[in-house]
Amino acid sequence: MIHETIVTTAACDGRPHIAPMGARYEGERVVLSPFRPSTTLDNIVASRAAVLNFTTDVRIFAGCVTHCATDWPTVRASRVASVRLAESLAHAELELDEMRDDAQRPVLFMKCVHRENHAPFAGFNRAQSAVVEGAILVSRLFMLPADKVDREMAYLQIAIDKTAGDNERTAWGWLVAAIARHRANLEAAGGAPATVAHH
């Protein structure tokens, strides 16, 4: 099972980095597998620390993958050399326990050394899930056929229309705009037209 989270890390100079990332659990350890090149990977190797942030503010997922908004407030973590989101439901502070290097996608085994809860979880919202799915699609535009993206976005739009609040509508707008930009750039570069699958 992969859980979609926000991973925060800090560079050696303290500069925060925020990235949506799937996390797996193997026993007591959290497993992260970032693709190279990765600022998250570089920061974890240097600091041996990261923080998993649990949030329902899906603007963060969408903002990071579309580069529409990346400057979310952070505060210093309690026990590790990292930062956490200032506004999250909960967070888990991690230390690097083992790294299995790979040219494309290293595997990082992290042990949790501290947890904090900050706010109650209000329940599941379909629009929030739709934004997370949409953010994953946007992060893979370079490898997915255009018609597949269109079909999935059309289906996800139903949940947005029926259950979204202001945050979800804002995030969804960023994703839709990012897809349009990607296709316009493809056409401008003489690549596949927007209606044709691009591999």
Domain boundaries, the chain: 2-117, 126-191
- Residue 97 half-sphere exposure toward CB, CA atoms < 13 A: 13
Asked if the model's pLDDT at residue 90 lies above 90, the reply is yes
**Contact criterion met (CB below 8 Å) for 58 and 9:** no
Mean pLDDT score of the chain, rounded to an integer? Answer: 94
Q: What percent of the chain has pLDDT over 70?
A: 95
pLDDT at 198 over 60: no
Closest CA to 176 of 165, 192, 160: 160
- Structure-token pair, residue 188: 């401008």
pLDDT at 190: 84
What confidence category does residue 70 fall into, taking pLDDT thresholds of 50, 70 and 90? Answer: confident
CA separation for the pair 98, 191 (Å, rounded):
42
Peptide bond into 73 cis (omega under 30): no
Fold category of 2-117 in CATH: Pnp Oxidase; Chain A (2.30.110)
Helix (H, G, I), strand (E, B) or coil at 77: coil
- The CB density around residue 184, as the number of other CB atoms within 10 Å, is 11
Q: Per residue in 113-167, pLDDT tens?
A: 999 999 999 999 999 999 999 999 999 999 999 999 999 999 999 999 999 999 9
> 8-25: per-residue pLDDT in tens?
999 999 999 999 999 999
